[in-house]
Amino acid sequence: MSRIVIVSHSHPNLRYGGGEVAAYRQFQHLLTLGEDVFFVGSTIGPEDSARFFGPSQQVISFGPRDFCLRGRGMDGFVMEQAEIRDEDWIFEFLLALRGDVYHFHHFWNIGAGTIRRLRAALPEAKFICTLHELTAICANHGQMVKRSGELCYAGSEVACAACVARPPIDFVLRRTRMLEMLDLFDHLLSPSEFLRQRFENWGVAPGRIAVIENGLDHHDGARPETEAELLAKSRRFAFFGQATPTKGLDVLIRAAALIEAADEELEQPLSIEIHGVDKDGFTRMWPDLAVPACVHFRGRYRPQDCVDIMRGYGWIIIPSVWWENSPVVIQEARAAGTPMIASDIGGMAEKTAGWGVPFRVGDAGALAQAILSVHGSPETLAEYRARITPPLDLAGFEREWRDACGLGRGQNLAGFSQPQMKRRQADG
């Protein structure tokens, strides 16, 4: 039996984000199948480490196969650990697991140097990387949004230098280093066509990246609903996410304010509920933005409850102002059978095509119009709900993952990928 090591930049027990959730769900699914699998996450940086770790503690164990490493922060430009001693012990920890397969769901907090050393130490292991966002391409938090707030459509040495305030030659070297690091992996995966295309336009060879949607197990909790129930739901809208500048929560609040100002008394009552953020957290981020009466903050929720909560709404709104890739909230909305109102760019446009209502990204007026176009209409809600197909479940993800990466279940790995053959030939 092959030993599989799933590596993530974070751990969902400490922080809940799409990449780490996808990685952990994969780990849990393989574990239930009896596979020889380990999960290794990390804290995001010194702040989280100080909160969760003792002064000299390096690892938290959530189980005999489930670990979180102490992350001390990284230089995101070169994607390397700041101190070699941190790279040393992370490398030694991963090496000690002696995996036949290492599946990285990011390289942040792990480090390019760690991956280079592990690859050299285990030339016959398979190395897989899922590209969850654009960090390798973009040095501005991997979001391809300029410091001015404008969307960036393609990186270039001069444009990136103007954005991040470093000499253009630094970006020539960074691109070379990032491409060399990605070339260490036997297989590259992307959860969206959008992200695959961005990486190919940037320099990854066509055909190197396989597109596999992240897996999400779900049960069919839907039941036939009366027109009165559909009418009630058609008045209810929700946001699920965090109070970060790129999630577009301020765009949603401005849209709600426009609706409130235009129609003091709507024919049908309107409710917009915010999950994942409390009012204090919102006010800290946008202190000058008044909250309309139709908006209600519900605070944090348990991730495992998300799909059931979503079933109580007519529409889920995703107003992010950056490209996104394959947001977990979109998969959860599909599992809930709840249509979306989504920004018209990147992975949001791709993943909601046909069953979502698009609006111009960052445009509060366009979002207000989109909300009003479906508000109070049970017929429209029923029509869009009928278009939704369930997301890929974890069993389906595992099948596609094994096919794309040449992995046989419960068997020793057969054959070598092209990068592995090159390394074996070079080793002589």
- Structure confidence at residue 424 (pLDDT): 42
Mean pLDDT, the chain, rounded, equals 91
Go through the chain and tell me how many residues it has: 428
Is residue 297 scored above 60 in pLDDT?
A: yes
- Structure confidence at residue 148 (pLDDT): 86
Summarised one tens digit per residue, pLDDT across range 99-148 is 999 999 988 899 999 999 999 999 999 999 999 989 999 999 889 999 88
Residue 68: φ, ψ to 5°: -130, 125
364 near 388, Cβ under 8 Å? no
CA-CA distance, 347 to 342, in Å (whole number)?
A: 10
* Alpha helix stretches (DSSP H) within 337-393: 346-352, 364-374, 378-386
CA-CA distance, 273 to 308, in Å (whole number)?
A: 15
Between 203-207, 281-285, 418-422, the lowest mean confidence (pLDDT) is in: 418-422
Residue 4: φ, ψ to 5°: -115, 130
Summarised one tens digit per residue, pLDDT across range 38-89 is 999 998 877 777 888 888 899 999 999 999 999 888 888 989 998 899 999 9
Sorting pLDDT into bands at 50, 70 and 90, what band is 15? confident
CA-CA distance, 268 to 246, in Å (whole number)?
A: 31
- Structure confidence at residue 416 (pLDDT): 42
Q: How crowded is residue 44: how many other Cβ atoms within 10 Å of its Cβ? A: 19
Summarised one tens digit per residue, pLDDT across range 241-268 is 988 889 999 999 999 999 999 866 677 8
3-state class (DSSP) for residue 239: strand
Residues 6+ apart with CB under 8 A from 423: 119, 123
337 near 385, Cβ under 8 Å? yes
- Structure confidence at residue 304 (pLDDT): 84
Sorting pLDDT into bands at 50, 70 and 90, what band is 417? very low
Is residue 421 scored above 70 in pLDDT?
A: no
- Structure confidence at residue 105 (pLDDT): 95
Summarised one tens digit per residue, pLDDT across range 18-33 is 889 999 999 999 999 9
Summarised one tens digit per residue, pLDDT across range 265-292 is 677 889 999 999 999 999 999 999 999 9
Is residue 339 scored above 50 in pLDDT?
A: yes
Sorting pLDDT into bands at 50, 70 and 90, what band is 425? very low
Q: Which two tokens stand for residue 113?
A: 């140097």
- Structure confidence at residue 113 (pLDDT): 94
Long-range contacts of 91-98 (CB under 8 A, 24+ apart): 91/117, 91/118, 91/121, 93/40, 93/59, 93/67, 93/69, 94/5, 94/7, 94/40, 94/118, 95/121, 95/122, 97/3, 97/5, 97/38, 97/40, 98/3, 98/122
Q: Residue 106: name the closest of 30, 233, 15 by CA.
A: 15
CA-CA distance, 306 to 216, in Å (whole number)?
A: 12
CA dihedral 170, 345, 205, 182 (to 10 degrees): 50
129 near 28, Cβ under 8 Å? no
Residues 6+ apart with CB under 8 A from 50: none
* Alpha helix stretches (DSSP H) within 76-165: 84-96, 112-121, 157-164
Summarised one tens digit per residue, pLDDT across range 212-223 is 999 998 877 677
CATH pick for 227-386 out of 3.40.50.10300, 3.40.50.720, 1.10.10.10, 3.40.50.2000: 3.40.50.2000
CA-CA distance, 214 to 190, in Å (whole number)?
A: 9
Q: Residue 134: name the closest of 91, 205, 180, 182 by CA.
A: 182
Residue 365: φ, ψ to 5°: -65, -40
Summarised one tens digit per residue, pLDDT across range 175-200 is 999 999 999 999 999 999 999 999 99
Q: Which two tokens stand for residue 217?
A: 């197990």
**Domain 3-215+394-427, CATH class in plain words:** alpha beta
Q: Where in the chain is the domain with CATH 3.40.50.2000?
A: 3-215+394-427, 227-386
Annotate 277-309 with b (16+ C-beta within 10 A) or e (fewer): beeebbeebeeeeebbebbebbeeeeeeebbeb
DSSP 345: S
- Structure confidence at residue 59 (pLDDT): 93
H or E element at residue 202: helix 193-202
CA-CA distance, 388 to 384, in Å (whole number)?
A: 7
